[in-house]
Structure 1
């Protein structure tokens, strides 16, 4: 087992710096696409749906969601490209924004998922987990 671990470690070592980029690009591109798909603002379908639920200011809220998703997606990628404290901060804030957006999505769109297998078999929980990873870890 030790020899197998050593072999796998030697194979993976050159790729280790790229591992966070797999998560960063997946999250960033996914959020950008989800947000950009809601343009032009305000997103009519989403605004109508929010309005039908009695949400106040549905046009404003749906526009903020679209901007938040797009912005967080871009920021999580840009934060990784900036090798500085600013990049670290941008990454952490973008990760936090993803978590907040996903909590809102669970609460509004998927309230029936809590404490069920559906929650843990959806891509949404993984997007939130990756966002939390970057909110905690930043660029470290």
Structure 2
């Protein structure tokens, strides 16, 4: 038996669960002797559950964002850190429609080795690595 429910038939709590389930749970791993100092963080969509923070040398830090309860948008954002004379920028997303995404860049290029990976589904569990 197939059952279709119109959005207008959902309760406010069910709608909240529908959008807040779209999350990014990120881990930033600093494998260098330099601390990473947060310079900015911004969400184009969604809300912070835990904002990005400084990442001490040879340490990890976590951040998380999710879709807003009243907005069918998922979550998408960016964060930037200063590390030594370089700037690390990450981008991440878990949209309502489409594929999850994550990226990392270092400026100037080559100052540090950077990499990232993430998952699909309602929770983009992404990790970002910074190495000397």
Q: TM-score, normalised by structure 1?
A: 0.31
Bigger relative CO (Cα 8 Å, ≥ 6 apart)? 2
Q: Going by fraction, where is strand more abundant, 1 or 2?
A: 2
Q: TM-score, normalised by structure 2?
A: 0.32
Report which of the two structures shows the higher radius of gyration computed on alpha carbons: 1
